[in-house]
Amino acid sequence: MAQPSENPARRVALDVMGGDHAPQEVVAGAVQAAREGNIGIILVGPEPAIREEMAKYDTGGLDLTIEHTDEVIGMDEHPAEAVRARPRNTLSVCMQLIKDGRADAMASAGNSGAVVTAAVLGLGRIKGVPRPALGAVLPTATGKPTLLLDIGATTDSKPDYLAQYALMGSAYMQGIFDIAQPRVALLANGEEDGKGDQLVQAAHGLIRAIAAKGMVNFVGNVEGRDIPKGEVDVIVCDGFVGNVALKLSEGLSRMLLGAIRTEIYSNPINQLGGLILKGAFNKVRAKLDDEEYGGAPLLGVRGVAIVGHGSSHARAIKNMIRVARQAGDQQLPAKIAEGVAAAGAATTEA
């Protein structure tokens, strides 16, 4: 069934067992991506289960191959322990396919901590990048996405890590969203220069230094209230803060829309109002929808790795694969390596 693509490395290795709706929705998304995007995909997971799902679709002419492995990492497992205990887990096999030149990108809607561990162990870090960062592409009020990073790959950051996140985030928004000079901001507790805890204050100076050399378009500090505004393209923060901010955003949106839903269903007249406004609510929900953005890129490793939301259905999986393909075509890791090397002198702490 597989049609070898012209360049064998131009394939996306897909963790078929990652996410709450695996393998069904993952295979469905892969078929869509292969069909609509003409993307070569290596499906990584237990062959019988994959074949069973694939049998539901007409896959003729699609570049879909299977890489068998039985080892799977659960969503709630301890990442480092699980990756080390099962070296043939789907994630590590994806990384190996990249290392062997059989794929140039990987994608998973599984355990994000395990993706980070498997990528660092399997692909290695880009030279000069002490810690990778995971970025969340957030929907905003302007309709333009903002990349928030790090959202938790590294919980105890140092100033030079944050400066590298600025470079890496900038490269991602250039490569994937075609923004020539991404506006990069630093998350702080006030807009003025000099605000922030010690980490942020020190990072501010380092980012100013690389901005002065034209390496990033640094617009200064933003506050928590600015995250959903969509006025900047990249917001840099430590992984602990980013994790809290991302989860708070999800929780609060759900709480607010839930409260409105409860009121609408509280009586028939409100239900009528809800019916009239159905299209309006759908538009607002579409504005909050981040499935189009394809998931969170892991930046700073020697290969493309995209992590999708655990709740991903086929459409989100398809977009995750598309973004992985794009990042591979853009040779994102090479671009990040160049940027980091050039900025090395400015970002390395004395």
**Nearer to a second copy by C-beta: 212 or 280?**
280
Shortest distance in whole angstroms from residue 245 CB to a second copy:
6
Tell me the closest approach of the beta carbon of residue 26 to a second copy, in angstroms.
24
Shortest distance, CB of residue 259 to a second copy, whole angstroms?
Answer: 5
87 to 153, 208, 252, 341: CA distances (angstroms): 20, 42, 38, 31
- Shortest Cβ distance from residue 134 to a second copy (Å)? 11
Give the chain's largest Cα–Cα span. 67
The closest of 95, 115, 118, 91 to 105, measured between CA atoms, is: 95
Cβ distance to a second copy smaller for residue 213 or 278 = 278
What minimum distance in Å lies between the beta carbon of 206 and a second copy? 18
Q: What is the DSSP letter of 259?
A: H
Tell me whether residue 243 or residue 319 sits nearer to a second copy (CB atom): 243
Type of residue found at 18: G
Contact 63, 54 (CB under 8 A): no
> Which residues in this chain contact a second copy in the complex, by CB under 8 A?
140-141, 152, 155-156, 187, 189, 196-198, 200, 223-229, 237-241, 243-260, 263-264, 266, 269-270, 272-277, 279-281, 283-284, 287-288
3-class SS at 56?
coil
Nearer of residues 188 and 323 to a second copy, judged by Cβ: 188
- Is the CB of 259 or the CB of 341 nearer to a second copy? 259
> First-to-last CA distance in the chain?
56
Least Å from the CB of residue 140 to a second copy: 8
| 219 membership: H or E segment, kind and range | strand 217-222
Residues in CB range of 212: below 8 A, 6 or more apart? none
What's phi and psi for 183, nearest 5 deg?
A: -80, 120
- In the structure, how many helices (H) and strands (E) does the chain have? 12, 11
Name the residue nearer to a second copy (CB basis): 35 or 144: 144
